[in-house]
Amino acid sequence: MPSDLTLSLGQHSERGRKATNQDFHGALIPERPTLALKGAAVAIADGIGSSAVSHVASETAVKSFLTDYYDTPDTWPVKLSARRVIAAANSWLHAETRRNRDLHDPEGSRDRGYVTTLSALVLKSRTAHVFHVGDARIARVIGRSLEILTEDHRVVLSPGESYLGRALGASSHVEIDHHTVGIERGDVFVLTTDGVHEHLRPEAVVAAIARHGDDLDRAARTIANLAYENGSGDNLTVQIVRVDSVPDGEPIELSGRGDELPPAPLLDPPTLFDGYRVLRTLHASHRSHVYLAADPETGATVALKVPSTELRSDPAGLRRLVMEEWIARRVDSPHVLSAPPQTRRRSHLYTVMEYVEGQTLAQWMRDHPEPDLEEVRRIVEQVARGLRALHRREMVHRDLRPQNILIDGAGTVRIIDFGSTRVAGLAEEGAVDEPLLGTVQYTAPECLAGHPATQSADLFSVGVIAYQMLTGRLPYGAEASRAFSEARARRLHYVSVAAARPGLPPYVDAALRKAVHPNPSHRYEALSAFVYDLRHPNPSLPGVRRAPLLERHPVLFWKLLSVLLGLVVLYLLASRSP
């Protein structure tokens, strides 16, 4: 069984020689699988001493970080999640500062507002993420001393006179320091407010931890007492985090205990399996076998996917199979295949997905060799909506092709098959491999050249699919599948849709050309822009003329023409009068 990240924690905070404690601290070490997906979080804050409400600011900063961080999508990387949460806290604190000043102290300064420092440590897998604003500190024990991992955001005016250069709540925007360090078993991190570290040598901190290593709360309390004895006149807060074990490199747990289950066997319908009535085979490939099944508990019809014989000895392939259901549970869109709630324990590794009666886009294209432009737009728009739902969760599909797009009987389009999807929150820790997983005909050149897939790569795939629906061909022919270098990508020659299907509007060709540009920096920045340009001439694109007023605004054109004719008639009448 793979080991988990396990931590020991010690904390202490007191007001010291001050009348009130304006510091605040907190930590959250969740259970599996949240610990693997989001990590453990530790945060410390120090409200500015000149403000009567800074204790509210420090408490708000810490509590909002520890609560809101775990409410961000599991698929988001740590950096994105933490920055979004800290920025939101800063906005609220700054708004409260302004409101308080406007109502009670119109001439007041930020020194009397909801202003605080914040330093946070997120430990996930084998990495420690450091986030920092202000002059609290995060350090790591190195031998008999401390390695300071943060930089004090304090501006010194003169000896003994300084002010915070950065703090939460001080302005509408806050710059957040972030960096990462690798962690190993036995690492010790120490978080302190300035009332502690300004009055203790690092050696004294390390010695106290070594002396009370079996009781980290006592060690934190001892460090605070030493700072007090050395004359500190400020609040005293200390947090100590020790890494007792780190994951051993086995696959990250994605769904229950899925990584510990044996692969499901191939099934012979009709049969019973794990409580499901398996009715018939839907699809079989070298990667998996998909079966239509009924769930007697819910009455729902579902699709069971089990690994093929070849996949059973491929840990990365099995991990991707498990991820498909994990991803489907985290994306809410009518244009992305969903997964029903898991209602029972599983005896084997397999996935359960929503069953949709319909046909793939590949089959639809065979049935509609020359589709109407409006029908193509309708399909592309729905694919784009599904992709945007994935992208909002920081996911890149990476294998978008006609075989992975499903159209049901009502015409609703769904993206399926997430076995190649890149999830930023997992990829940041190396939990997901970065091989070339997509189908080369639809894969962006930069991915063929070895670069990680981005949202722009998915846009490229949509452009290729739209082009193929309209023409039955690929925009670069067979050459695109051999563009395994940037030099080869630059030599790709786009074939205009007019060559394969005359009569299509030039602006549609221009939009497709931009969407499938070999250089990602020359593509659309957003899917919505591509979808819009498929319907509306964009004069900024090469080869697109600005449509005349009659085409753009026919009602306005006829109104202006009527006014002009009326003026001409009046002029003629006036010229004939004596």
* pLDDT: which is higher, 337 or 488: 337
Read off the pLDDT of each residue in 241-245 and give the average, rounded to a whole number: 96
In 39-186, alpha helices (H): 54-68, 78-104
225 and 12 in contact (C-beta within 8 Å)? no
Q: According to the model, what pLDDT value does residue 500 have? A: 84
pLDDT band for position 557 (50/70/90)? Answer: confident
CA nearest neighbour of 327 among 261, 267, 398, 272: 398
The DSSP code for 97 is H
Q: Is there a single domain that holds both residue 280 and residue 299? A: yes
For 227-244, letters b (16+ CB in 10 Å) and e give bbeeebebbbbbbbbbbe
Q: How far is CA 483 from CA 321, 448, 464, in A?
A: 28, 7, 15
Tell me how far the alpha carbon of residue 58 is from its chain's centroid: 27
Please state the domain count of the chain.
3
Show the tokens assigned to 565.
């004719």
Residue 1 lies in a domain: no
CA nearest neighbour of 379 among 421, 338, 422, 408: 408
Residue 387 lies in a domain: yes
CA nearest neighbour of 451 among 484, 428, 493, 417: 484
Give the DSSP H or E segment for 489: helix 486-490
Read off the pLDDT of each residue in 88-99 and give the average, rounded to a whole number: 90
Q: Is there a single domain that holds both residue 209 and residue 314? A: no
CA nearest neighbour of 351 among 254, 422, 279: 254
Q: According to the model, what pLDDT value does residue 254 have? A: 47
Residue 553 lies in a domain: no
Write down the residue that tokens 């990240």 correspond to: 5
Span 393-429, pLDDT tens digits: 989 999 999 999 999 999 999 999 998 999 887 776 5
Report phi then psi at 307, rounded to 5: -70, 145
Span 265-304, pLDDT tens digits: 999 999 999 999 999 999 998 889 999 999 988 889 999 9
Spatial CB neighbours of 237, under 8 Å, sequence gap ≥ 6:
12, 13, 14, 23, 24, 25, 44, 46, 191, 192, 193, 195, 196, 224
Cβ burial, residue 22 (10 Å; 0-12/13-18/19+): buried
Domain range for 408 is 358-533
Q: Is there a single domain that holds both residue 66 and residue 160? A: yes
Q: According to the model, what pLDDT value does residue 98 have? A: 84
Distance CA 6, CA 451 (A): 34
Distance CA 42, CA 9 (A): 9
405 and 418 in contact (C-beta within 8 Å)? no
Q: Is there a single domain that holds both residue 152 and residue 218? A: yes
Collapsing DSSP states into helix, strand and coil, what is residue 46?
strand
CA nearest neighbour of 408 among 461, 372, 359, 369: 359
The DSSP code for 518 is S
Residue 538 lies in a domain: no
Q: Is there a single domain that holds both residue 313 and residue 366? A: no
Q: Is there a single domain that holds both residue 522 and residue 403? A: yes
Span 433-460, pLDDT tens digits: 455 566 788 999 999 888 889 999 999 9
pLDDT band for position 250 (50/70/90)? Answer: very low
Torsion of CA 513, 514, 517, 522, to 10 degrees: 160
| End-to-end Cα distance, the chain | 107
The pLDDT of residue 516 is above 70: yes
Distance CA 445, CA 460 (A): 9
* pLDDT: which is higher, 345 or 359: 359
Q: How far is CA 338 from CA 326, 333, 334, in A?
A: 10, 8, 8
Longest dimension (CA), the chain: 115
Residue 300 amino acid letter: A
Distance CA 123, CA 350 (A): 30
Query: How many percent of the chain have pLDDT more than 70?
Result: 89
CA-derived radius of gyration, the chain: 31
Q: Is there a single domain that holds both residue 267 and residue 378? A: no
Report phi then psi at 138, rounded to 5: -120, 130
Q: Is there a single domain that holds both residue 180 and residue 136? A: yes
pLDDT band for position 1 (50/70/90)? Answer: very low
Cis ω for the linkage preceding 33 (within 30 of 0): yes
Residue 149 lies in a domain: yes
Span 160-200, pLDDT tens digits: 666 788 999 988 899 999 999 999 999 999 999 999 999 99
Q: What CATH code is carried by the domain that includes residue 12?
A: 3.60.40.10
Cis ω for the linkage preceding 520 (within 30 of 0): no
pTM of the predicted model as reported, rounded to 2 decimal places: 0.73
Residue 108 lies in a domain: yes
Last residue of a domain, one of 245, 268, 285: 245
Read off the pLDDT of each residue in 537-548 and give the average, rounded to a whole number: 76
Report phi then psi at 242, rounded to 5: -115, 135
Q: Is there a single domain that holds both residue 167 and residue 272? A: no
The pLDDT of residue 256 is above 80: no
- Lowest-pLDDT range of 192-206, 324-338, 382-396, 480-494: 480-494
Q: What CATH code is carried by the domain that includes residue 319?
A: 3.30.200.20
pLDDT band for position 220 (50/70/90)? Answer: very high
Read off the pLDDT of each residue in 328-343 and give the average, rounded to a whole number: 92
Show the tokens assigned to 116.
């605080």
Spatial CB neighbours of 506, under 8 Å, sequence gap ≥ 6:
498, 543, 544, 545
Q: According to the model, what pLDDT value does residue 533 have? A: 97
Q: According to the model, what pLDDT value does residue 300 have? A: 92
Strand partners of residue 23: 46
Q: Is there a single domain that holds both residue 339 and residue 481? A: no
Residue 546 lies in a domain: no
Distance CA 234, CA 18 (A): 6
Last residue of a domain, one of 245, 277, 292: 245
256 and 322 in contact (C-beta within 8 Å)? no
The pLDDT of residue 58 is above 50: yes
Q: According to the model, what pLDDT value does residue 553 have? A: 61
Torsion of CA 248, 250, 252, 256, to 10 degrees: -110
Cβ burial, residue 370 (10 Å; 0-12/13-18/19+): exposed
Spatial CB neighbours of 503, under 8 Å, sequence gap ≥ 6:
none
The pLDDT of residue 375 is above 90: yes
Read off the pLDDT of each residue in 64-68 and give the average, rounded to a whole number: 95
Read off the pLDDT of each residue in 139-143 and give the average, rounded to a whole number: 95
Q: Is there a single domain that holds both residue 201 and residue 300? A: no
Tell me how far the alpha carbon of residue 199 is from its chain's centroid: 41
Q: Is there a single domain that holds both residue 366 and residue 223? A: no
Read off the pLDDT of each residue in 552-573 and give the average, rounded to a whole number: 78
Q: Tell me the helices (H) and strands (E) count for the chain, helix number first.
A: 18, 22
Q: According to the model, what pLDDT value does residue 255 have? A: 42
Distance CA 11, CA 161 (A): 30
pLDDT band for position 483 (50/70/90)? Answer: low
Q: According to the model, what pLDDT value does residue 157 have? A: 67
Last residue of a domain, one of 533, 558, 573: 533
The pLDDT of residue 30 is above 80: yes
Report phi then psi at 402, rounded to 5: -55, -30
CA nearest neighbour of 274 among 376, 168, 188, 346: 346
Tell me how far the alpha carbon of residue 362 is from its chain's centroid: 30
120 and 65 in contact (C-beta within 8 Å)? yes
The DSSP code for 70 is G
Q: What CATH code is carried by the domain that includes residue 430?
A: 1.10.510.10
Residue 21 lies in a domain: yes
Q: What number of residues does the chain have? A: 578
Q: According to the model, what pLDDT value does residue 227 have? A: 97
